Amino acid sequence: MTGSLGSIGRQWDQRIQRANELAARHPFAAEALRFYERIASFQKSLYENLAAGNGEAKKVRAPGSLRDELNLITLLPWFASFLAFVEDVAPPPLAQSAAELNAAGGMRWEEVLDEFWHSGEDAALTAPEALISWAFLQPYAEHLADHTERSEAEEETPSLCPLCSGSPQAGALRPLGDGAKRSLICSLCATEWEYRRIVCPACGEENVDKLPVYVAEELPHIRVEACDTCHHYIKTIDLTKDGRAVPVVDELAAIPLSLWAAEKGYEKLSSNLLGI
Ligand SMILES: [Zn+2]
Ligand SMILES: [Zn+2]
């Protein structure tokens, strides 16, 4: 395939396909992954539609400034469809929140999307409202990120996304020479950036004795990287052990690890579509 027209939105196909594979392999995550597949299909349509209107042009944006713009005129009609869709396919608490938002109308949608876009996880919204806003705005943010020229002035090891200041959804260990390098993946715009291996992305702790790593036998390519100083954790997907993994999807599928970490008193840095 030549040019990039054929590859627009290819990452969505990879995610959906991986969710499908993992659902067959892990019965404990099948229902969650089927739900994810449906949400990701909607996200893919939104992303493709935005990308089709944009072409190849990349914009220069200052580091951390991605959220300075929010094109509500384009997004609101899609949000109406998304709410109806979530009402249809989501588990009860989300479906009910979508129904309430749907009934509240366009002015409220603007408020909710604006609030989430600018405040992220600190937004003054209910948990289901924040989850719906995140799932909806994620492909929009990813589209902006994919059409942004990465700045050379980026900090060396920022703990937040260098484009949108979002917090990391998951980590990735990718092969480098004989070893691996770690990167973090933004929960909002899906940008991936390099991050030192022995440092907590939540509080900056660098003492290896305070940074325990847990791996479960059944999921050998997923590391729970915890911090005993701030009690946060992140899941890092080791692509040197499973090169087919798609970090955000494998992270979502590793439900037992989230439950286990919560039992141990660790809080996840960014919750996922399941709210965990
Ligand atoms: Zn980001
Ligand atoms: Zn920490």
pLDDT, average across residues 134-155 = 88
pLDDT score at 17: 97
Residue 78 CA to ligand 1 center (angstroms) comes to 21
Both 178 and 205 in a single domain?
yes
163 is a domain residue: no
229 is a domain residue: yes
Neighbour-count burial of 4, counting CB atoms closer than 10 A to its CB (0-12 exposed, 13-18 middle, 19+ buried):
exposed
Residue 233 CA to ligand 2 center (angstroms) comes to 8
pLDDT at 154 over 70: no
Both 244 and 200 in a single domain?
yes
Q: Which residue has the tokens 């991986």?
A: 18
Residue 163 CA to ligand 2 center (angstroms) comes to 22
Both 100 and 203 in a single domain?
no
> Of the ligands numbered here, which is closest to the C-alpha atom of 232?
2
For the chain, how many structural domains are there in total? 2
Both 138 and 53 in a single domain?
yes
Residue 134 CA to ligand 2 center (angstroms) comes to 24
> Of the ligands numbered here, which is closest to the C-alpha atom of 266?
2
Residue 56 CA to ligand 2 center (angstroms) comes to 39
50 is a domain residue: yes
Q: What is the pLDDT of residues 22-62, one digit of tens each?
A: 999 999 999 999 999 999 999 999 999 998 887 778 888 88
Strands (E), 121-231: 148-149, 168-176, 179-186, 192-194, 213-215, 222-226
Q: Is the pTM of this model over 0.85?
A: yes
Both 228 and 201 in a single domain?
yes
Label residue 170 by pLDDT band (50, 70, 90): very high
pLDDT at 4 over 50: no
Both 136 and 28 in a single domain?
yes
Both 138 and 239 in a single domain?
no
159 is a domain residue: no
Q: How far is it, in rounded angstroms, from Cα 193 to Cα 197?
A: 12
205 is a domain residue: yes
Q: How far is it, in rounded angstroms, from Cα 246 to Cα 239?
A: 9
pLDDT at 9 over 70: yes
Pairing between β-strand 59-60 and β-strand 168-176 as defined by DSSP bridges:
unpaired
Both 24 and 85 in a single domain?
yes
Q: Which of 94-103, 143-152, 170-179 has the lowest mean pLDDT?
A: 143-152
Query: Residue 251: helix, strand or coil by DSSP?
Result: helix
Last residue of a domain, one of 116, 149, 182: 149
274 is a domain residue: no
Both 145 and 173 in a single domain?
no
69 is a domain residue: yes
Residue 115 CA to ligand 2 center (angstroms) comes to 27
Residue 193 CA to ligand 1 center (angstroms) comes to 10
Last residue of a domain, one of 115, 149, 183: 149
Residue 192 CA to ligand 1 center (angstroms) comes to 8
Both 102 and 224 in a single domain?
no
> Of the ligands numbered here, which is closest to the C-alpha atom of 204?
2
Last residue of a domain, one of 86, 115, 149: 149
First to last CA, the chain: 38
Residue 104 CA to ligand 1 center (angstroms) comes to 29
276 is a domain residue: no
* Protein residues with C-beta less than 5 angstroms from the ion ligand 2: 200, 202-203, 205, 227, 229-230
Provide the residue range defining the domain that includes 83: 8-149
Residue 73 CA to ligand 1 center (angstroms) comes to 22
